[in-house]
Amino acid sequence: MYSYSAINGVLTCADPYILQTIVREHWNWTGSGQYMASDCDAIENADAYHHYTATGLQDVADTLIAALALQAAEEAIVLIKNDGVLPISLPADTNTNIAIIGGWANATTEMLGSYSGIAPYLHSPLYALQQLPHGNVLSSNEFGSPNTWYWNDALAACKAADFIIVADGISNSDKAEEHDRYTIAWPATTLEPINLAASLGIPIIVFQMGGGQLDDIVLLSNPNVSAVLWGWYLGMAGGDALVNIITGEVALAGRLPITQHPANYVNQVAISDMGLRPNATSGNPRRIYKWYDNALRPLQRLLAVKGGATSTATLQLTLDSLARHDEQGNTVLYPGDYGLLLDVPTQAVLNFTLTGSPVVLDQWAATTNLGSMERSATHASTLSWMSPD
């Protein structure tokens, strides 16, 4: 992401040295999944505050925007739990009754989160379900109220369903810049109707929406909750993406980018304690996946869509991933002892030693003579691999 600022008098979101020379040419950032994004309003600020000239960016094709929005939403969804109910099957010779309840069931602008532009359309989960050719969608907006009699319509829809979907979570009204939360627990007014719906014995799928963390232990430990998907802020095509995932139209690809902590974690460490490792003096139990071992779900947990499925993953260990950067920005591979820890929690460890002299794998591109960016592998033979095995 490039910022609002100018460096050496050149706006970062219009700087060919940064965008072209460094990112595209020097780092070879040219793959289909590699792109750059501006910070909120940075492009507008180029004209309003930096006095750059408009170049017709509004002419970008709507079809390309729509396709990218859908792809981004599909690839962001993370599977937290699945007992085998996903992907659901919709027979072509009969209608399947699908109930969708919850505060996010018909979410539109909520799907955009914060710092969003003007979307050409907003497809909620309810809208997307209604587009299924063999789905009969039952819905109710009565949810989340402390008055239980408001839940009657929602539970009536659930009782008539073959599948139940609960779309709920947190939004910008719960947390935002200058608006902090004091708990990461699900509200009781949300969990109670979920538990009631789950007790019906009908497969139930929870769409956990919003960018903030929630303690899912109640959902994960409830055998009547069939699946949990974390959908974040999915944007204008969020509903379409969720439906494509649960029906198996698109393979699940999302990875959990954070460690899920239990709700009582906020009481175990002071907000002013920034330490990552355990500290007996302060009582800090440790943070993040590298040290915290009581996570509900750790960073990058991978679950297959079909319950019990297994697959083989190939790990590509490159020299670049072992290297560090010196003060000049050069990528340097240093000799020493290394350890590769596989999976979280650790399932296997590979220890090895690199001997010899430091090697510059990549020399940082200078601002002068921009056409002579070269990747250096000088003296590569001076390092050798030694495995204890």
pLDDT tens digit sequence for 246-258: 999 988 767 777 8
Identify which of 122, 126, 127 has the alpha carbon closest to the alpha carbon of residue 111: 122
User: Which residue among 260, 276, 305 closes a domain?
Assistant: 260
How far apart CA 231 and CA 131 sit, in angstroms, is: 20
**Residue 305: which pLDDT band, with cuts at 50, 70 and 90?**
very low
pLDDT value for 60: 52
Q: Does residue 269 sit within a domain?
A: no
Q: Which residue has the tokens 């907000």?
A: 271
% of the chain exceeding 90 in pLDDT:
33
% of the chain exceeding 70 in pLDDT:
84
Q: Are residues 41 and 72 in the same domain?
A: no
pLDDT value for 358: 94
Q: Is the pLDDT of residue 377 over 60?
A: no
User: Which residue among 59, 76, 95 closes a domain?
Assistant: 59
> What are the tens digits of pLDDT across the range 173-192?
888 787 888 888 998 888 88
Read off the amino acid at residue 295: A
Mean pLDDT, residues 69-90: 91
Question: By mean pLDDT, which of 99-103, 295-299, 328-332 is the weakest?
Answer: 295-299
Q: Is the pLDDT of residue 146 over 70?
A: no
Q: Does residue 305 sit within a domain?
A: no
Domain count, the chain: 3
**Residue 58: which pLDDT band, with cuts at 50, 70 and 90?**
low
Q: Are residues 20 and 96 in the same domain?
A: no
Q: Are residues 72 and 167 in the same domain?
A: yes
Mean pLDDT, residues 372-378: 35
Q: Are residues 225 and 150 in the same domain?
A: yes
Q: Which residue has the tokens 């050149």?
A: 10
Question: By mean pLDDT, which of 153-167, 196-210, 338-352 is the weakest?
Answer: 338-352
CATH assignment at residue 82: 3.40.50.1700
Look up the domain containing 164 and give its range: 66-260
pLDDT value for 368: 54
Q: Does residue 356 sit within a domain?
A: yes
How far apart CA 130 and CA 92 sit, in angstroms, is: 15
Mean pLDDT, residues 331-340: 94
Burial environment of residue 86 by CB neighbours within 10 A (0 to 12, 13 to 18, 19 or more)? buried
Q: Does residue 294 sit within a domain?
A: no
The pair of three-digit structure tokens given for residue 160, joined into one six-digit string: 């008539």
**Residue 39: which pLDDT band, with cuts at 50, 70 and 90?**
confident
39 is catalytic: yes
pLDDT value for 27: 86
Determine contact, residues 275/282, Cβ cutoff 8 Å: yes
Looking at the chain, which runs of residues are DSSP E strands? 6-7, 10-11, 78-82, 96-101, 135-140, 163-169, 204-209, 227-232, 324-325, 331-333, 336-342, 348-356, 359-362, 383-386
pLDDT value for 136: 94
| Cis amide leading into 91 (omega within 30) | no
Q: Is the pLDDT of residue 380 over 50?
A: no
Maximum mean pLDDT: which of 219-233, 250-264, 371-385: 219-233
Question: By mean pLDDT, which of 102-106, 309-313, 319-323 is the weakest?
Answer: 309-313
Instruction: Please work out, in degrees rounded to the nearest 5, the angle formed at the alpha carbon of residue 47 by the alpha carbons of 42 and 50.
Output: 80
Q: Does residue 301 sit within a domain?
A: no
Q: Is the pLDDT of residue 196 over 50?
A: yes
Alpha-carbon distances of 205 from 50, 87, 195, rounded to whole Å: 49, 11, 12
Q: Are residues 200 and 256 in the same domain?
A: yes
Alpha-carbon distances of 207 from 165, 227, 239, rounded to whole Å: 7, 9, 11
Which of the two residues, 231 and 48, has the higher pLDDT score? Answer: 231
pLDDT value for 381: 36
Identify which of 226, 218, 217 has the alpha carbon closest to the alpha carbon of residue 198: 226
Q: Are residues 116 and 236 in the same domain?
A: yes
Which of the two residues, 131 and 381, has the higher pLDDT score? Answer: 131
Q: Is the pLDDT of residue 88 over 70?
A: yes
pLDDT value for 158: 94
Backbone angles phi, psi at 376, to 5 degrees: -105, 135
Q: Are residues 55 and 71 in the same domain?
A: no
Q: Does residue 299 sit within a domain?
A: no
pLDDT value for 16: 86
Q: Are residues 45 and 82 in the same domain?
A: no
User: Which residue among 260, 279, 301 closes a domain?
Assistant: 260
Instruction: Please work out, in degrees rounded to the nearest 5, the angle formed at the alpha carbon of residue 47 by the alpha carbons of 41 and 48.
Output: 75
Identify which of 178, 66, 81 has the alpha carbon closest to the alpha carbon of residue 123: 66
Q: Are residues 100 and 212 in the same domain?
A: yes
Q: Are residues 196 and 71 in the same domain?
A: yes
Alpha-carbon distances of 209 from 166, 172, 347, rounded to whole Å: 10, 11, 31
**Residue 128: which pLDDT band, with cuts at 50, 70 and 90?**
very high
Q: Which of 39, 153, 162, 174 is catalytic?
A: 39
- What is the rounded average pLDDT for all residues in the chain? 82
Question: By mean pLDDT, which of 58-72, 101-115, 313-327, 367-381 is the weakest?
Answer: 367-381
Q: Are residues 123 and 241 in the same domain?
A: yes
Q: Does residue 267 sit within a domain?
A: no
Q: Does residue 297 sit within a domain?
A: no
The pair of three-digit structure tokens given for residue 319, joined into one six-digit string: 């020299």
Q: Are residues 214 and 328 in the same domain?
A: no
pLDDT value for 382: 46
Question: By mean pLDDT, which of 60-74, 119-133, 181-195, 357-371 is the weakest?
Answer: 357-371
Q: Which residue has the tokens 């947390």?
A: 175
Alpha-carbon distances of 121 from 109, 139, 164, 240, 282, rounded to whole Å: 10, 21, 26, 12, 50
